[in-house]
Amino acid sequence: MYAINMAVLIVARELKDKFAEVLASENVQVTLSVPGRGTATSETLDFLGLESSERMVFFSIVTEESWTKLKKILYRDMYIGVPGVGVAFLMPLSSIGGRRTLQYLTDGQEVTLKEESTLQNTDFELLIIIANSGSIDIIMDAARSAKATGGTVLHAKGTGAEQAKRFLGISLAEEKEMAFVVVRTTRKNDVMRAVMEQAGAPNPAGAIVFSVPVTDTAGIRLPEEDEA
């Protein structure tokens, strides 16, 4: 297994350009950004001296080596963790759909192999599918053809268009759609394969897919449970 993770940065929206520059400076070429809103009360904001709770959420793929360097910069130069600035956390990836996708996501970063983690021996996986805007029907039709259920869609802006053309042979628009789909681990490879074959390059959707281990779930009904 490659030592690759998804870094999630939740930062004050007015600082989004500075954080984007930091990510790019560390060769984190592929980043998705989604606007969000914090839940702090107005009293808390006043106490902290903040003007708003508007946030920007960055999703980036990083190697462990890149994260080590990036984390130091976030603390030293960006004051991550200081009230009003933001937080960051890391989630290990369990699989990536295709070697060219791996090259696209990690271009400019040193990729190494490591032993598989016991965290990956889970019953469920979260599939994260990234595609050009307007492609959600194609993506979900592909996923459902492999017996995945519905997903949740986020609209995002992305980077890495040049890398996509070089490694995947497709042009990616700045506007992206991210689909989050929870599947049983036993079905993960079938769903990922269906998405890659029906919505990946050279399809205009340009979908890429990777997965994150899920340790537990509640409220998820899957087709095989209904058939039992």
Same domain, 65 and 107: no
Q: Looking at residues 129-151, what average pLDDT do you find?
A: 92
Same domain, 84 and 102: no
Q: Is 227 domain-assigned?
A: no
Q: Is 228 domain-assigned?
A: no
Same domain, 178 and 86: no
Same domain, 208 and 118: yes
Burial class from Cβ neighbours inside 10 Å (0-12, 13-18, 19+) for residue 69 reads: middle
Q: Looking at residues 148-161, what average pLDDT do you find?
A: 90
Q: What is the pLDDT of residue 155?
A: 94
Asked whether 193 and 129 are in contact (CB, 8 A), the reply is no
Q: Which of 4-13, 101-110, 111-120, 121-130 has the lowest mean pLDDT?
A: 111-120
Q: Is 226 domain-assigned?
A: no
Q: Is 169 domain-assigned?
A: yes
How many Å apart are CA 171 and CA 165, to the nearest integer? Answer: 5
Cis link prior to 202 (omega < 30° from 0)?
yes
Same domain, 198 and 133: yes
Q: Looking at residues 149-165, what average pLDDT do you find?
A: 88
pLDDT digits 0-9 by tens, 34-87: 998 876 556 655 555 555 578 899 999 999 899 999 999 999 999 998 877 889
Q: Is 26 domain-assigned?
A: yes
Q: What are phi and psi of 64, to 5 degrees?
A: -65, -35
Q: Which domain holds residue 177?
A: 95-219
